[in-house]
Amino acid sequence: MNVANREIKAANGVKIPQVGFGVYKLIKEEDFENAVGEAIRNGYRHFDTAKIYGNEKKLGMEIQKSKIPREEFFITSKVWNTDLGYEATKKAFKRTCENLNVEYIDMYLIHFAAPCYLEAWRAMEDLYSEGKIKVIGVANFEIQHLEELMKHSKIAPMVNQIETHPEFPQNDLHDYLIKHKILHAAWAPLGQGNKDLLKNKVLEEIANDHEKTVAQVILRWHTQRGIIIIPKSSNPKRIKENIQLFDFELSSEEMGKVNQLNKGKRYSHNPSGYMVNPLYNKLMKIFLK
């Protein structure tokens, strides 16, 4: 493990690199090769993909090309909504392993709380028990989704990957995750690169005091909250900067200033919409009989 990164333990003791590299929307072969290759050279070993991203095969090829042993990488992927269900999820998992050319996945997540996610979770519990997944978890789950899942599961989710950034810190959900020993992972940790956020005067002042960039200050704020972060970039300079986070520390006062930027502002959809879907409720009643 590269000394520039840190690890955070899941409830089962598995260590997860706290800074990962996201490959969402990295589709073009040349862009993908350049970005992932640069990330590997800069010490990233945690890579986050998903079936719906359409680049699992490309990621597998870049990992093999690196000549770095498989066990040094921590690979995350996710099962998509249309593959939820016991047998469907098992098939989707097998395809993901084939795409990545691996025999196990370090972390496998349910992408959304869409219909049949309870059946999908049973499949993931079985795959976990078979040693094919090291960490099982979810993404975009709200508290009500987590409550429903834990009510009907043998193994509690170990991770919840959700939209999180200074303007949407997810405070209530964050506290809930801590209480239930579920790790908080952040996608869009930089607010999807929102220009207003990256030019915020408060953040610029903190960044200047530490001789760091605003992005580094935001990412450091996440890590000091105990959050796993999945920044993404195709810019070599930013790729390098995004993992250089552990040679400085924000004071409690600085953390407080960043906390005050909370606007309750999502840059993406509200995942709780799945819970009011009539088809979802109908399918759930059938499954729970």
**Which residues have a catalytic role annotated?**
53
CA 15 to chain centre: 14
| C-alpha closest to that of 239 among 34, 17, 51 | 34
108: alpha, beta or left? (left if phi > 0; alpha if psi -120 to 50):
beta
| Alpha carbons within 13 A on the beta-carbon side of 24 | 13
Distance between CA 101 and CA 280 in Å, rounded? 33
| Cα distances (angstroms) measured from residue 195 to each of 26, 41, 215 | 21, 28, 11
> What single-letter DSSP state applies at residue 165?
B
111 is in an annotated binding site: yes
Strands (E), 128-275: 133-139, 159-163, 183-187, 228-230
| Integer Rg of the chain from CA | 19
Strand 105-110, strand 21-22: pairing: unpaired
Binding-site sequence positions: 111
Binding-site sequence positions for substrate: 111
